[in-house]
Structures are given as structure tokens and as C-alpha cells.
């Protein structure tokens, strides 16, 4: 099981796999079981795709990670992504309209993240 961090600019947290664009993120979601997914919305000036495209893919494929964070700095995009995910998520999936908490980032980096989630 892996943790995926979708972002074109921010540094990838330790213990996460970086996806710099929608295609990379979708490939990881297709190929691996994803525990934690953290989504940015805006993915660079030259990209027509955004984190919303990943949300739409998740909804279409009904393939949800256990936990989803939305770490975008765009408040409007965060609300839209959160509302779409929250209303469609299956039982057992958690969605948060904020960045990953520091305590959780430390646990993942140190390898002390709860074993039942890995």
C-alpha cells in the first residue's frame, strides 16, 4: 500500500510517492492500493488538467483510497473537490478539506503510521 501526493510545486513529504500531474496520479491509483491521497488543484501554468480531474476519475471508477486530503491553496477548488468526494465516498473512506496534519506526516516519515492502515 502506498501514499500519493499530487502536486507540481510543493515538496513531496517523506513516505509519499509524488505525482506531478493527473496522468501520473491516475496511473498510481490504477496500479497500486493507495492508503492516503493528498490532492492539489492547480498543477502548473501549462497544464489544462487539475486535481478536479483526479476527483472525477475517482468518482467514475469508484476507486477510493482510505483517506483523502485536499491541500490546494485555492479555497473555491477545495470546497468543490471536497463536496464532490464527500457526497460520493464509500463507507470507510475519509475526506478532509485541508493539508495532512503534521503529526500524521511525522508518523508516515518515521514508519510508525498504524500498521492496520498499511
> Which DSSP string corresponds to 9-69?
SSPPPTT-EEE-SHHHHHHHHHHS-EEEEEE-S---TT-S--HHHHHHHHHHHT---SEEE
pLDDT tens, the chain, 118 aa long: 999 999 999 999 999 999 999 999 999 999 999 999 999 998 877 778 999 999 999 999 999 999 999 999 999 999 999 999 999 999 999 999 999 999 999 999 999 998 644 4
pLDDT at 46: 73
Q: pTM to 2 decimals?
A: 0.93
Question: Tell me: the pLDDT tens digits for 26-36?
Answer: 999 999 999 99
Amino acid at each position: 500500500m502506498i501514499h500519493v501526493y499530487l502536486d507540481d510545486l510543493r515538496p513531496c513529504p517523506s513516505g509519499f510517492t509524488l505525482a506531478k500531474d493527473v496522468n501520473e496520479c491516475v496511473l498510481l491509483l490504477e496500479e497500486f492500493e493507495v492508503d492516503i491521497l493528498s490532492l492539489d488543484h492547480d498543477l502548473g501554468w501549462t497544464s489544462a488538467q487539475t486535481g478536479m480531474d483526479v476527483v472525477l476519475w475517482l468518482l467514475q471508477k469508484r476507486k477510493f483510497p482510505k483517506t483523502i486530503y485536499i491541500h490546494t491553496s485555492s479555497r473555491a477548488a477545495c470546497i468543490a473537490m471536497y463536496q464532490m468526494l464527500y457526497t460520493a465516498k464509500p463507507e470507510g473512506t475519509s475526506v478532509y478539506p485541508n493539508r495532512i496534519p503534521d503529526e500524521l506526516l511525522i508518523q508516515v516519515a518515521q514508519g510508525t503510521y498504524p500498521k492496520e492502515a498499511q
